[in-house]
Chains A and B, each alone.
Chain A
Amino acid sequence: MILHELFSLEFLRVLWWALMGVMLIAFALTDGFDMGVGALLPFLGRTDTERRVIINTVGPVWEGNQVWFILGGGAIFAAWPLLYAVSFSGFYLAMFLILSALIVRPVAFKYRSKRPGRMWRSSWDWALFYGGAVPALLFGVAVGNILLGVPFRLTPDLLSIYDGNALQKLTGLLRPFALLAGVVSLSMLVMHGSAWLILKTEDPIARRARRTGTVAAMIAGAGYALAGLWLAFGIEGFHFASAPDPNGHSNPLLSEVVHGGSWLSAYAARPWIVVAPVLGFLGIAMVLRAFRSGGDRSPLAWSKMAIFGMVSSVGLTMFPIILPSNTDPRSSLTVWDASSSQLTLFVMMFASAIFLPLILFYTAWVYRVLWGKVTEEDVTDSDSHAY
């Protein structure tokens, strides 16, 4: 097969870096509101019927939404195998916690309504809370740690060594800046979940959601600004010691990354990326306005823009570094040395070009079929269909 050589390795690497971002953002935009709704469930639903309304706003779609995460994981495996290997084994216990949330959530949705008991239902409600809040927090903690650098090194065989046992690895993640990032991501998704509930429910749930959404958006905005200042004045970045070969071998040990300087120097080198944080802040401001006075649909739209801006700003700031090591910077994974082969990237690009639009198409169709608010009558009338 010669066809794949039509696209340079450099082009394919940048493309797959961008696609990885697209999938993670799609995950945050769709499953994000599922997680936010889960985290809000015990607080916004005061009666069993109210809780059922809340659950049924995401009932038919959460499963498809979650696939963005599974797809993101699969795409990282296929396009960035070393990133997959280092991050999943390095964040071992954190990954296990996320996994436990992803195991609990599907069964909680499915099983909650199968029995009437109060204990039964309230246990599953808290399971849904766990399944929403814990990953929302941990994803942010992980991003914070990636900005700080993660303590791993690669052997000459490219085995990833991450020192300490599981518990130390988990507590090692809980650094102040990373916790701030966790708070930002949790509040961002709670904001998003609130915006979703405003679209899909009626008062009093929608009214309560406007309140929680406002508080969450304020925390997210303030935390995001604080994190920016922290990056500017308190945290060192990573960069290449000498110009790397964008078409080089996928072996991090063949190039030299060093710790030092500022992440934010990226904004001097590529001024246009400032558009990402601007979208983030603008989105938050508009979301706050929409929560106060907007209709039912505008909060979700602005919330999407805010999330898009905030998540993409992290990636654009770090480019071309993907996962830096603070104990052995030379092992750091970058766009230029951690990808799959040219052929694999090409094949996957080809498949994505066909199937991503198809996915968007049928997902949009499903959302259209399910369009409209979920009311108390909906869940009480047709008992057998609703969760």
Chain B
Amino acid sequence: MFIFADVKKYKKHIRFTLALSLICIILIGLTTCDKGQAPGIADGAPSVYYWRTTLRLDSTERAFLAQHHIEKVYLHLFDVVVADGKCQPAATLAFNDTLPADIRIVPTVFLTEECLHADTTDLASHIVARVAKMCQAKRLRHAHELQIDCDWTPTSREAYFGLLARIRTQLAALSDSEAPEGWRLSTTIRLHQLSQPAPPVAYGVLMLYNTDSPYKRDSRNPIFAPEDIQPYLRSLQHYSLPLVAAYPNFRWQRLFHGDEFKALLYSENLSDSTVYEPVEGDSLYRVVQGRTLHVELQGSHDVRLLPGDEVVVTRPNAGELISTARLLHKARPSLHNQVIFYHLDHASINQLNQKDYETMYHLQ
């Protein structure tokens, strides 16, 4: 212990202590810098996904792009699914409109995990050729990157990484004056994939949504729950691939009978008071008249609404989004070199207010 009354006597000790403290501070700083140096991307910009099957923007959507200075749109071009035992494109985007000319477009393709268990021999060339043809046919300027979205698992990892490597090779051949070295390849990364080796791509988009199952009624917010993200902080700090963040702004209308999940009601109008009665503001409705929602409305199967069924409306909580984003920022600042919202859609845009978007797009 030092006796401060006799400073001179212990001057040497004090110097030593200060030096030691400085070294500690530097070391701590280095450790922090190590986190801070987790790779990011150089060309980050406010971005958004466009995931509908028809490209048509209304005034609200155009205003959103302008107001938030959106520079990049990750444009979903098609899915790849297994049909008749073969990988085939599906849900191809119909172009009924154009995006503002100054926006960079990143063509995005969703691949079902099932495809990775099918024959993928020619899949890379099929995907790249079709994307290139679509970009050329629809004059998608500034498109020099392809993003693949796939919920791969450890069992399909090898097939997926192999496919990505082949796609990357194919993309290298797509060089032009704007991209002399060919196109870049990126991919989505789900939270559970952070514990796996990184895929062979330029960077990943960390999907910070769909954090829990929508089928459980009493679970945390299944779209975005901080508790479901926190366990991945450590993996995030050490993940070797450059990452950027994608946050949700969409809502789900989940139909339950008691606690039993029945369906997601995609396009159902809950303000139709002849069918739905609001129970808790805009977050819970009860069905008051039975009816069948045909497959055309529901996507995969007919859904029977029964009196007493309830529709739980779930949306991300802005406060939780911002506080969790700040936590993630501390763990890996480069994550927010670019923030992407999923997705550009009139109804989704209104789930958060302008100030929240501003905060999220400019996280420091």
Do these two chains interact?
no
